[in-house]
């Protein structure tokens, strides 16, 4: 009799575990890519590695977008702020090495003062993987695999999307690599948030 109760209890625990697992799964919108492209308020955290023939740097990143405003913060792995870049429709402000710098082009400002080439002006589309370009290659679920893309300064970037996560009804990039000439930027994203 005890054995039967034990087997029955194990069966119900198994069912409860299956139900728990199923409830954590999310389903994507049927036209998730259109919905995602329209999302103008988001935040993501992750890691970034900048690789060039002369140097290799890595940092934690926190990237926020609210309508036409972008805010990128890079920190060391112990939390020390490396830089903060704020961008509006008309201006860019970089806090770097204890000083404030201003320009109309965030990508050019970042490159000029830090040597760090990152196409921040167009981050919304390439970071979310919603680029619409004739060179775009997608997988069977419509997720970006690779694209040859020109940023706002005319630089040509090869972007490879290695993996995605499913969250908030979207497929979101979790690992991607940007390559421009001998510069390679590897990005790992692990906490997407939408409002």
Q: pLDDT per residue over 117-171, tens digit each?
A: 888 887 888 999 998 889 999 999 999 999 998 887 788 999 999 999 999 899 9
- Per-residue CA distances from 160 to 4, 13, 145, 157 (Å): 55, 42, 6, 10
Domains and CATH numbers, the chain: 3-194 (2.50.20.10)
102 backbone φψ class: left, alpha, beta (φ>0; ψ -120 to 50): beta
pLDDT tens-digit readout, 1-53: 555 544 544 444 555 554 444 334 457 777 898 989 999 899 999 999 999 88
pLDDT of residue 75: 94
Sign of CA dihedral 114, 116, 122, 127: negative
Model pTM? 0.81
Interior/surface letters 54-70, b for 16+ CB within 10 angstroms, e for the rest: eeeeebbbebbbeeeeb
Is the separation of the CB atoms in 104 and 114 below 8 Å? Answer: no
């Amino acid at each position: 009799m005890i054995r039967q109760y034990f087997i029955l209890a194990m069966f119900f625990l198994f069912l409860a575990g299956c139900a728990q697992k199923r409830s954590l799964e999310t389903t994507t919108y049927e036209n998730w890519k259109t919905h995602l492209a329209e999302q103008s308020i988001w935040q993501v955290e992750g890691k970034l590695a900048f690789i060039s023939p002369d140097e290799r740097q890595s940092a934690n990143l926190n990237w926020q977008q609210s309508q036409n405003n972008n805010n990128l913060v890079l920190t060391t792995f112990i939390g020390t702020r490396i830089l903060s870049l704020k961008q509006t429709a008309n201006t860019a402000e970089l806090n770097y090495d204890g000083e404030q710098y201003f320009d109309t082009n965030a990508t050019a400002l970042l490159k000029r003062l830090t040597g760090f080439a990152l196409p921040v002006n167009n981050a919304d589309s390439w970071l979310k993987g919603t680029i619409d370009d004739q060179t775009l290659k997608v997988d069977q679920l419509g997720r970006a695999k690779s694209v040859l893309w020109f940023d706002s300064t005319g630089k040509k970037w090869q972007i490879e999307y290695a993996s995605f996560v499913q969250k908030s009804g979207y497929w979101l990039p979790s690992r991607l690599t940007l390559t421009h000439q001998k510069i390679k930027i590897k990005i790992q994203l692990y906490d997407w948030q939408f409002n």
